[in-house]
Amino acid sequence: MPPSSIVWFRDDLRLADNPALRAALDRDEPVIGLYVLDEESDGIRPLGGASRWWLHHSLASLDARLRERGGSLVLRRGRAGRVVREAVADAGATAVFWNRRYGGAEREVDADLKGALRVEGVEAASFAASVLFEPWTVKTGAGTHFSVFTPFWRACLALPAPRAPLPEPREIPGARSAIASDRLADWGLLPHDPDWAGGLRERWEPGEPAARRRLREFLRDDLDGYDRARDEPAAGATSLMSPRLRWGEVSPHTIWHEAVEAGGGGRFLSELGWREFAWHTLFHAPDLATKNLRPEFDAFPWPHLRPSHLTSWQQGRTGIALVDAGMRELWQTGYMHNRVRMVTASFLIKNLLIDWRRGEQWFWDTLVDADVANNPFNWQWVAGSGADAAPYFRIFNPELQAQKFDPRGEYIAHWAPEYRDDASAAPPEPIVDLGETRRAALDAYEQVKRAS
């Protein structure tokens, strides 16, 4: 078999600005794209339902784009360490390239594989593609990781600017004889019986071309007003780049450079900075989804779980308008506006007194943008147990939040119409009293303070 290179696609389902793909093309050998559905390696978190839906469509799009240019995408499932080496053997490949991941379990898989491939005489190389600044390049004066965002972002901005994005390759020479591939449809990533994905289909078009279109549209129409309108869930003023970044359909470098060219966007760029901060935090605290970053929070006396409260929250039936609207937006579309994510998370943790990990798990299953850094990072931020977190005692009042950020009630009217002023029936009763539960949360927090 003539030599070929494998590009192992993971969270980078794109052709443009893909350094691993570029490295393979630079070898002037046939290129085989590979995606491995790994639900077996230790510590790799199985994808949630909404993520599986997105992945299916994004892989279909990537496959079509590779084919248009002469390449192909091979699909296999199992432990990545074993599966990639099998694909190398089947193809007689002499090199494997991938873009780096920063979660603890993922790094372990990748490091072991790199070692094994090299022992077998196969070239293996990895590249930076999903963050603007790699975690080990941003350090405090004392050489440690930043625990506060503002100095972290200042330090990032003092580094050389993120590299310019690489152009999209026009041709991708494929291998003459194909190696065996699973059929995407056989992976069962799409829901059926019931098919709950109607709202996702209506809201989203996964894949690189749609991601690039949406970026252009946002920069043209909304970047100017972003600072002002980004906190209003009814305004539709944010970029909706989060699932595209999650799946790597567009790189942060592309977003960065196009936003700068479009006229700046300091506030928008600093939101990308929060994403960087979350990934860096995960790199230094691989147990972010399960362990309080601030250990004194281990003393928090979570009361015995009331399952009916958790279900009411998940289904958007809490009797609190903004919370219910947000939870239904999430369930129907796989997305929720950031302001409402903060309010619904705060309500779960500080009014229902339910452990943040329960909420994180629900978001993990239902968000199309759920990732191993940003989701737990933000949940810990709201809980007060995380990096540069909102202090625990700052408890959002969901009614005041609604008055401030949804002053005309448009968002609530859309997602939870029973709360409209002109609704025919009285609105549902709250499942808890906001004032009483707030006091109970503050009492419980006293124990954390005593432990610190």
Task: Specify the residue for token string 């289909």.
Answer: 201
Assign residue 353 a region (left: φ > 0; alpha: ψ between -120 and 50; beta: otherwise).
left
Contact 78, 2 (CB under 8 A): no
Q: In the complex with ligand FAD, which residue's Cβ is closer, 41 or 239?
A: 239
Q: Is 351 a catalytic residue?
A: no
CB of 356 to ligand FAD, least distance (A): 8
Positive or negative: CA dihedral 390, 393, 399, 400: negative
Q: In the complex with ligand FAD, which residue's Cβ is closer, 79 or 357?
A: 357
List the beta strands (DSSP E) in 112-205.
123-127
Peptide bond into 194 cis (omega under 30): yes
Q: Is 313 a catalytic residue?
A: no
Contact 417, 425 (CB under 8 A): no
> Active site residue: 98, 279, 313, 379, which one?
379
Q: In the complex with ligand FAD, which residue's Cβ is closer, 174 or 265?
A: 265
CA 167 to chain centroid: 24
CB of 357 to ligand FAD, least distance (A): 12
d(CA 378, CA 324): 20
> Active site residue: 271, 296, 399, 418, which one?
271
Q: In the complex with ligand FAD, which residue's Cβ is closer, 11 or 38?
A: 11
Report the alpha-carbon angle 105-47-9, nearest 5.
70
Contact 360, 382 (CB under 8 A): no
d(CA 33, CA 66): 8
By CB under 6 A, the residues from 79 to 98 that bind ligand FAD are none
Q: Is 356 a catalytic residue?
A: yes
Residue 64 carries which side chain, given as an amino acid letter?
A: A
Q: Does 65 bind ligand FAD (CB under 6 A)?
A: no
In DSSP terms, 83 is beta-bridged to: none
CB of 424 to ligand FAD, least distance (A): 33
Q: In the complex with ligand FAD, which residue's Cβ is closer, 184 or 278?
A: 278
Q: Does 239 bind ligand FAD (CB under 6 A)?
A: yes
Give the residue among 196, 189, 221, 193 at the shortest CA–CA distance from 59: 189
Q: Which of 96, 382, 389, 395 binds ligand FAD (CB under 6 A)?
A: 382
Contact characters 44-63, ligand FAD, x per CB under 6 A:
--------------------
CB of 63 to ligand FAD, least distance (A): 24
Contact 73, 33 (CB under 8 A): yes
Q: Does 369 bind ligand FAD (CB under 6 A)?
A: yes
Contact 316, 328 (CB under 8 A): yes
Residue 16 carries which side chain, given as an amino acid letter?
A: A
Contact 113, 124 (CB under 8 A): yes
Q: Which of 274, 331, 362, 396 binds ligand FAD (CB under 6 A)?
A: 274
d(CA 36, CA 79): 8
Q: Is 415 a catalytic residue?
A: no
Q: Which of 254, 371, 387, 411 binds ligand FAD (CB under 6 A)?
A: 371
Give the residue among 133, 147, 156 at the shortest CA–CA distance from 386: 147
Q: Which of 238, 332, 351, 397 binds ligand FAD (CB under 6 A)?
A: 238
> Active site residue: 40, 86, 134, 338, which one?
338
Contact characters 217-236, ligand FAD, x per CB under 6 A:
-------------x------
d(CA 113, CA 62): 24
Q: In the complex with ligand FAD, which residue's Cβ is closer, 31 or 367?
A: 367
Residue 261, judged by CB atoms within 10 A of its CB (0-12, 13-18, 19+), counts as exposed
Q: Does 241 bind ligand FAD (CB under 6 A)?
A: yes
Q: In the complex with ligand FAD, which residue's Cβ is closer, 345 or 402?
A: 345
Q: Does 124 bind ligand FAD (CB under 6 A)?
A: no
Binding-residue total with ligand FAD (CB under 6 A): 27
The pair of structure tokens assigned to 419 is 């709360």
By CB under 6 A, the residues from 335 to 354 that bind ligand FAD are 338, 341-342, 345
Q: Does 278 bind ligand FAD (CB under 6 A)?
A: yes
Point out which span in 123-131, 144-152, 157-165, 376-384 binds ligand FAD (CB under 6 A): 376-384
The pair of structure tokens assigned to 140 is 């405090």
Q: Does 279 bind ligand FAD (CB under 6 A)?
A: no
Q: Is 338 a catalytic residue?
A: yes
CB of 175 to ligand FAD, least distance (A): 35
Q: Is 379 a catalytic residue?
A: yes
The pair of structure tokens assigned to 5 is 């290179």
Which residues contact ligand FAD (rule: CB under 6 A)?
230, 238-242, 245-246, 271-272, 274-275, 278, 338, 341-342, 345, 363, 367, 369-371, 374-375, 378-379, 382
Catalytic residue numbers, as ranges: 271, 274, 302, 338, 356, 379
